[in-house]
Amino acid sequence: MVIETTLPGWLPDLDGTIVGGDLLRGWALSEVWRIRLDGATRKSVIVKRGIGELAGEAQRYDELVVPLGIAVPRLLAEDGSGVIVLEDLGGDNLEDRPTAEGYEQAVRVLARMRIESALRLAADPALAAGLRRSTADLLAVAARAATAMTALRPDLAGAIDDPIRVMTHRLEQLSSEPETIVHGDFQAKNLLHTQGGGIVTIDWSDAYVHPHLGDLYLLLREGRKQGRIASARMDALPALFAHEVGTDPQIVIDRMVTGGLCWTMSALRWVVETGVHAVPVSREWIDELVTDLRGLAEHHQSR
């Protein structure tokens, strides 16, 4: 969806004359614009501004995405304040044009990205040192989520104690596995169709390094909520991922549970600490996230 509106005053100097622009996404903490240019080497560029926690995409590009050789829109400029200029690949995303083939291609992209990143990270342990997350880091996020949620919703006090215990056990089991890239928001709105029929991943502001498989969990979670792809095709995606990485499908399901706990706990932390103030509608997401966490914990106990 494109929203026509007045250009913002924070746009940086660009190569060429600005002749117009479209607001692609406008949140309190994040804006994304397609800026049309004249007399420049490119007819358009994507300009993004992130505030607070969402201002770190340039760091991810510089320290993680580019060194790992991940196929992404090129970072053309950054100003150090959370504003970045990216190559405009055009096209629509998987949310606007959902296809079963697109989801399958996204799974292949994720599998290849994780395999290649694991190899590079193992070869150079100093790579992305500041973006590696430990079990203690992820559990600290969970503790913050519990504290802020209880202050906001006393009726939910203790509601995620069991998921935190399960998450702790699962992360300890995963601690010896090879580290790889975690996009952090791997869902349809951040997956672009390319002219060649492929998929390119955008929006890397949440990326870090860890073994868990939260990205695949989120792709399936959001895809099933949309309900525009046949359930049988969605249900087959974990097996497709297992085939692409050469492992047992049950291992993939197990890693998705761990990743689901990590992603959902992070999402809940953001909502109760930041979202309720910056995006008031996010208050309505709390109960669903808590239900998801408890469901994931019960999956662990029923094995």
What value, to the nearest 5°, has the Cα angle with vertex 232 and ends 228 and 235? 95
Residues 26 and 171 in one domain: no
Produce one character per residue of 113-142: b if its CB has 16 or more CB atoms within 10 Å, e if not.
bbeebbebbeeeeebbeebebeeeebbebb
* 274 in Cβ contact with 267 (< 8 Å): no
Does residue 73 lie within any of the structural domains?
Answer: yes
Whether the pLDDT of residue 15 is over 70: the answer is: yes
Residues 175-205: tens digit of each pLDDT:
999 999 999 999 999 999 988 878 999 999 9
Q: What is the pLDDT of residue 27?
A: 85
* Per-residue pLDDT at 3 exceeds 80: no
Contact yes or no for 256/213 (Cβ under 8 A)? yes
For the stretch 41-89, pLDDT in tens is 899 999 999 999 889 999 999 999 999 999 999 999 998 889 999 999 9
In DSSP terms, 84 is beta-bridged to 48, 78
User: In Å, what is the CA distance from 47 to each residue of 31, 201, 256, 278?
Assistant: 8, 16, 33, 21
What confidence category does residue 1 fall into, taking pLDDT thresholds of 50, 70 and 90? very low
**SS3 sequence of 54-67:** HHCHHHHHHHHHCC
pLDDT at 5: 61
Q: What is the mean pLDDT of the chain?
A: 94
The pLDDT of 241-246, averaged and rounded, is: 98
**Per-residue pLDDT averaged across 17-34, rounded?**
92
Do 180 and 71 lie in one domain? The reply is no
CATH number at residue 281: 3.90.1200.10
CATH classification at residue 23: 3.30.200
Q: For residue 302, what is the DSSP state?
A: T
Whether residue 234 sits in one domain with residue 152 = yes
The tokens for 235 are: 């249900």
Give yes or no: residues 72 and 169 share one domain.
no
Read off the pLDDT of residues 111-148 as tens digits, 9 standing for 90 and up. 999 999 999 999 999 999 999 999 999 999 999 999 99
Instruction: Provide the domain count of the chain.
Output: 2
What residues contact 6, with CB distance under 8 A and at least 6 apart? none
Last residue of a domain, one of 52, 87, 122: 87
90: number of Cβ within 10 Å: 13
Query: Domain of 139?
Result: 100-301
The pLDDT, as a whole number, for residue 2 is: 46
Q: Identify the helix (H) or strand (E) that includes residue 31.
A: strand 30-38
Distances (CA, A) of 111 to 20, 153, 240, 261: 38, 38, 9, 20
The band of 29, judged by pLDDT with boundaries at 50, 70 and 90, is: confident
Average pLDDT over residues 221-246: 96
71 vs 16: CA distance, rounded Å: 26
Residue 4 belongs to a domain: no
Residue 296 pLDDT: 97
Residue 237 and residue 104: Cα distance in Å, rounded? Answer: 7
> H-type helices in 185-248, by residue range?
214-226, 231-235, 237-245
One-letter amino acid for residue 260 of the chain? G
Predicted local confidence at residue 300, as pLDDT: 55
CA nearest neighbour of 107 among 257, 258, 242: 242
Provide the whole-model pTM.
0.94
